[in-house]
């Protein structure tokens, strides 16, 4: 008997962004749960599950065999999009990686998407960090963000981005940092995230500024090392102050 795969809240939201009938390539598939779920639910007739590591790919293969989908899900060892040919997939899922790595995978795999048609094929991305860099990359490479979702799963915050070829108007800093679509929709999860970030940033700033004079006295010696430490601390305070102002502006806009 086939066992139906149950996805985590995060993976289920990612899978929900895939359009019915899509030919999906899941990059960094790990256990292969997303492609299995998509095929089991009838969202996709078939799928590609790809990973750069042999271990996870072997586990994914075992899971695919367990549910009897060996004929519908192809497993492929690949560094990012390297082994995916142009036209093999109309939807590419990249989830669970940092933003810099996500951008590198897309840049090195431009043969897959550079000839995509406007508004048709899809990228489904869920970067775990540096989401602003991903949004900047999409804009510069001629993509348009169609929608975003933010959710919490086991106490952590996650972003899901759907993008297609198109044009994005240059945004404000908070649009890249927090997501223009989420701000526009006054997303309640984003609001909760901003509240958490504001509280944490204020605490860090308070600790830095409270001890600033004492730290200066301790480290300000006739040495380059002491001056460098003071300079770095000052830069960090300025960085956090600017981030706090951005949070407050965004929260005010969303009220």
Q: Provide the pLDDT confidence category of residue 191 given band limits of 50, 70 and 90.
A: very high
Average pLDDT in the 78-101 region? 97
Looking at residue 40, what is its pLDDT? 96
- pLDDT for the residue numbered 60: 95
- Residue 54 has what pLDDT? 95
Query: What residues contact 243, with CB distance under 8 A and at least 6 apart?
Result: 197, 201
Residues 6 or more apart whose Cβ sits within 8 Å of residue 248: 198
Out of 31-45, 83-97, 207-221, pick the least confident: 207-221
User: Can you give the pTM of this predicted structure?
Assistant: 0.91
Is pLDDT above 50 for 192? yes
Across the range 180-201, mean pLDDT stands at 97
98-137: pLDDT as tens digits: 999 999 999 999 999 999 999 999 999 999 999 999 999 9
Task: Write down the mean pLDDT value for the chain.
Answer: 92
pLDDT tops 50 at residue 11: yes
Both tokens of 180, joined, read 């223009």
Q: What is the mean pLDDT of residues 61-72?
A: 95
The order of strands in the sheet holding 73-77 is: 73-77, 47-51, 24-27, 91-95, 122-126, 156-165, 143-153
Region for 89 from its dihedrals, namely left if φ exceeds 0, alpha if ψ lies in -120 to 50, beta otherwise: beta
pLDDT of 208 reads 86
Q: What is the DSSP string of the chain?
A: -PPPP---HHHHHHHHTSPTT--EEEET-TT-HHHHHHHHTTS-S-EEEEES-HHHHHHHHHHHHHTT-TTTEEEEE-STTTTPPTTS-SEEEEESS-HHHHHHHHHHTHHHHTTPPTTSSEEEEE-SS-HHHHHHHHHHTTEEEEEEEEEEETTEEEEEEEEEES------HHIIIIIHHHHHTT-HHHHHHHHHHHHHHHHHHHHHHHTHHHHHHHH-SSSHHHHHHHHHHHHHHHHHHHHHHHHHHHHHHH-
CA distance readout (Å), 205 to 5, 31, 152, 243: 45, 41, 26, 11
pLDDT at 1 over 50: no
């Amino acid at each position: 008997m086939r066992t139906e795969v149950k996805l985590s809240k995060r993976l289920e939201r990612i899978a929900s962004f895939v359009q019915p009938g899509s030919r999906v390539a899941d990059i960094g598939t790990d256990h292969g749960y997303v492609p299995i779920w998509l095929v089991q639910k009838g969202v996709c007739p078939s799928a590609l599950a790809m990973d750069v590591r042999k271990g996870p790919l072997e586990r994914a293969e075992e899971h695919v065999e367990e549910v009897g989908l060996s004929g519908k899900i192809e497993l492929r060892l690949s560094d990012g999009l390297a082994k995916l040919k142009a036209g093999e997939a109309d939807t590419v899922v990249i989830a669970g990686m940092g933003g810099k790595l996500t951008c590198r995978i897309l840049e090195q795999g431009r043969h897959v998407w550079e000839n995509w048609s406007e508004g048709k094929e899809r990228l489904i991305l869920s970067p775990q960090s540096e989401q602003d860099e991903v949004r900047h990359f999409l804009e510069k490479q001629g993509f348009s963000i169609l929608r975003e979702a933010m959710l919490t799963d086991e106490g952590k915050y996650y972003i899901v981005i759907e993008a297609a070829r198109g044009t994005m108007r240059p945004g404000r800093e908070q649009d890249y940092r927090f997501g223009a679509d989420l701000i526009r929709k006054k997303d309640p999860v984003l609001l909760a995230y901003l509240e958490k970030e504001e509280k944490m940033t204020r605490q860090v700033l308070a600790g830095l500024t409270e001890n600033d004079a004492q730290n200066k006295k301790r480290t300000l010696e006739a040495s380059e090392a002491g001056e460098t430490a003071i300079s770095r601390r000052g830069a960090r305070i300025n960085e956090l102050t600017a981030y706090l102002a951005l949070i407050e502006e965004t929260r005010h806009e969303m009220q």
